[in-house]
Amino acid sequence: MAETTLISQKFLELKSKNRLAFMPFITAGDPDVDMTKDLIRTLTSAGVDLIEVGFPYSDPIADGPVIQASYTRALNGGITVDQILQAIAEVKSDDTPPLVAMVSYAIVFRHGVEEFIQDAKKAGFAGLIIPDLPGAEAAECFELVRSYGLDLVQLVAPTTPRERVQQIVQNSSGFLYCVAVAGTTGVREQVADALLDQLRWLREETDLPLAVGFGISKPEHVMPLRELADGVIIGSGIVRQLEDLVQGAVDRETTLKKIGQLANAMVSSTART
Amino acid sequence: MSTATAQVPDQLGRFGPFGRRFVPETLMHALDQLTEEYERAKADPQFQEQLANLLQTYVGRPSPLYFAERLTEKAGGARIYLKREDLNHTGAHKINNTIGQTLLTLRMGKQRVIAETGAGQHGVATATACARFGLECVVYMGEEDIRRQQLNVFNMRTMGAEVRPVTSGSRTLRDAVNEAMRDWMATVENTHYILGSVVGPHPFPMIVRDFQAVIGREARQQCLDAVGQLPDEVIACVGGGSNSAGMFYPFIEDDGVALTGVEAGGRSNKPGDHASPLSYGKPGILHGSYSYVLQDDDGQTLDVHSISAGLDYPGVGPEHSYWKDTGRVQYTTCSDEDALATFQKMARLEGILPAIESSHAVSQALKSAANRSPDDVILVCLSGRGDKDVNEVARLTGQTL
Ligand SMILES: Cc1ncc(COP(=O)(O)O)c(C=O)c1O
């Protein structure tokens, strides 16, 4: 895998700056595509390193209540794959950091695997995370994704035994998504010791950058990861800010400002020195 | 595709192209573990003996094969025999699977069991097996179904199970499966998930089929004993597809035996009006498996409808998709209306209140029998009894209890 991709370039660049990557997750279409475009612009200005864009799915078993509710809101608003791709194509500029699509295999398969990859690339995505296409099941899809010059990011879970890791790494590129806790996405208080151990041995198994997600929600969570991880991902911590917006408790401006501030704080926390 | 064989699935959980495992990495290890433990249990005579003993002394097996004389007269053609799964302890075929999987849970040293349920039959069967073996039991059930199936909810709680209402998404069986999978991801170390049908990621479709295949094995032998020949046709209803898979599997390589699966036709063949993925759906991904499914063009799962809560599911087991595409099993539908009419016919003609799910199968048997000669024999899987459905039937026929 010699050719570099936008995502691997980004991690190389961060390494030379001695920083971790900060990668926020947002749901496309929650509550509508205009908000999604505004969020991408806001996060870009805040200096985030990559952005994960979730494609709403009706049966997201890997997601906790916050993201699931967000998906439900977006689907109730009538969001479709084509609308998401169009919005991404419209909002993407030279400043936009690499965008990673988080999308269920149910959607990719129905769309047509190759067609989806093609369309995602055309819209401006740099990579895909297909959380329900694990390990060996991903082999075929991995070849296709790579042939279009995109990355297919795989997940490693706390329950993943070391013997399985090579199978996963073989079909993964860009970075490895290290799931911090057994369970679903969601906001949690602390980073587990077991995760730190796992990051240590993962480092011996692969040269891929290691990004930690699930349960990361604030700058304090980054501290213990600084020496062991190459990136952190916040999902529910950002998405839940939209709940107040949808309930009418705050307006769009305020929501964007709050998310921008959180992103700024996270970006500052990712400097190693 | 070529002809169907019984030598499926392969090591990757494939039935032809169907099945496999499309689940988050967090569950992969538990599925590997379960596969290994199941293979060991299958080869262990002690396990098999314990299972057989429980099926006999606790569940009440073998269940009888009964000649439905007046139903046969009414249809005016082939002889109709009913495989009486309704006479099992807890009143349906579901317990064949939960006893088996509970024994697996004990072998794996896990202390806690979770399950999903729609109508509540699988929930009750799981709560029953857990009570019998002193395991902690949590059952996920859609908020709507809890309201409609109070009898089963009461029974589960009485046996010590916790019934957790599911308020996310569609609030039905499909979301109960999602919630159970989420629970399992966080608790795999000490918890086993007893899936209630031949759906989900490998090895569940295989394990549930194998535990339900006792239905077809018994029925096949009982038919040979009673009429001296194999049946001409075997009919069963298909929700997730477990009673039908258990009934059909031992006949798969009996080429002369026609197999017919009956899906919930609901109100019409329009999206949202039925629960018939094999008849009206397309292959896709749902709940960790590749199989026929009811989805929109974006891969979002469609809402489904059936008079019967137990058939109200947008997916179906991957082995059925394999049987459909190989042409080994014919799939058809039965409308809400026909199922209800058959429920009443069964009550009046045979003195049996069938589950409304099973009424779908009997309805098709009446049609098929009418087109066959009296020399022909049809076996129907009567998957459960109808006590749970009397409120709904009363409501639909304008009566009060
Ligand atoms: C009596 C009865 N029959 C059939 C079904 C449908 O399930 P399956 O298709 O897995 O047999 C159910 C499900 O609850 C049931 O209770």
Per domain, the residue ranges of chain B are 15-54+94-208, 60-91+212-396
pLDDT at site A1? 46
CA distance A268 to chain B (A): 31
Cα angle: B19, vertex B96, B98; to 5 degrees:
75
pLDDT at site A136? 80
DSSP state at residue A28: T
- Reported as a pLDDT band with limits 50, 70 and 90, residue A2 is very low
Sheet strands side by side (includes B79-84): B65-67, B79-84, B377-382, B233-237, B258-266, B329-335
The pTM of the full predicted model, rounded to 2 decimals, is 0.97
Query: Considering CB atoms only, which of A136, A156, A182 is closest to B186?
Result: A182
pLDDT at site A216? 86
The fold of A19-266 is TIM Barrel (3.20.20)
pLDDT digit string (tens) for B108-165?
Answer: 999 999 999 998 999 999 999 999 999 999 999 999 889 878 899 999 999 999 999 9
CA distance B111 to B130: 10
Amino acid at A40: I
CA distance B335 to A132: 35
Q: Which atom of ligand 1 is nearest to the CA of B196?
A: 10
Pocket test for ligand 1, best of B209, B242, B260, B358 (most atoms within 8 A of CB): B242
Query: Considering CB atoms only, which of A57, A133, A184 is closest to B300?
Result: A57
CA distance A93 to B283: 37
How many C-beta atoms surround the C-beta of residue A4 within 10 A?
A: 12
DSSP B54-106: HIIIII-PSPPEEE-HHHHHHHTSSEEEEEEGGGSGGGBTHHHHHHHHHHHHH
- Reported as a pLDDT band with limits 50, 70 and 90, residue A258 is very high
pLDDT digit string (tens) for B332-383?
Answer: 999 999 999 999 999 999 999 999 999 999 999 999 999 999 999 999 999 9
Marked catalytic residue, from A3, A30, A38, A63:
A63
SS3 label, residue B112: strand
Q: Let me know if A193 is a catalytic residue.
A: no
Q: Is the pLDDT of residue B57 over 70?
A: yes
Q: What would be the CATH architecture of the domain defined by B15-54+94-208?
A: 3-Layer(aba) Sandwich (3.40)
Extended beta strands in chain A, E state: 21-27, 51-54, 99-102, 125-129, 151-156, 176-179, 210-213, 231-234
Would you put residue A118 in left (φ > 0), alpha (ψ -120 to 50) or beta? alpha
Q: In this complex, is the C-beta atom of A66 within 8 Å of any C-beta atom belonging to chain B?
A: no
CA distance A81 to chain B (A): 7
Q: Is the pLDDT of residue B198 over 80?
A: yes
Closest chain A residue by Cα to residue B200: A61
Which chain B residues are Cβ-neighbours of A108 within 8 angstroms?
299
Mean predicted lDDT score pLDDT of chain A: 94
Which residues of B are marked as active site?
94, 116, 383
Cα angle: A65, vertex B123, B384; to 5 degrees:
140
Query: Is B21 in contact with A134 (Cβ distance < 8 A)?
Result: yes
Q: Determine which of A114-128, A212-226, B256-270, B314-328 has the lowest per-residue pLDDT on average.
A: A212-226
Answer whether B15-54+94-208 and B60-91+212-396 agree in fold. yes
SS3 label, residue A131: coil
Amino acid at B345: K
Pocket test for ligand 1, best of B93, B313, B333 (most atoms within 8 A of CB): B93
Please give the average per-residue pLDDT across B171-199, as a whole number.
94
CA distance B200 to B192: 14
- Token reading at B229: 């020949």
CA of B121 to the centre of ligand 1 (A): 8
Q: Is the pLDDT of residue B93 over 50?
A: yes
Tokens 């573990």: give the residue: B33
CA distance A216 to A22: 11
SS3 label, residue A63: coil
Q: Is the pLDDT of residue B251 over 50?
A: yes
- Residues, chain A: 273
Per the CB < 8 A criterion, the answer to whether B357 and B310 are in contact is yes
Would you put residue B80 in left (φ > 0), alpha (ψ -120 to 50) or beta? beta
Residues with CB under 6 A from ligand 1: B 92, 118-119, 121-122, 197, 237-244, 310-311, 355, 357-358, 383-384
Closest chain B residue by Cα to residue A135: B25
DSSP state at residue B303: P
Query: Is B185 in contact with A183 (Cβ distance < 8 A)?
Result: yes
Per the CB < 8 A criterion, the answer to whether B349 and B70 are in contact is yes
Q: Which atom of ligand 1 is nearest to the CA of B208?
A: 10
> B60-91+212-396 belongs to which CATH class?
alpha beta
Give this complex's ipTM: 0.95
Distance of CA B387 to the CA centre of its chain: 18
Query: Considering CB atoms only, which of A69, A168, A184 is closest to B186?
Result: A184
CA distance A110 to B221: 43
Shortest-distance Cα residue to atom 10 of ligand 1: B242
Mean predicted lDDT score pLDDT of chain B: 97
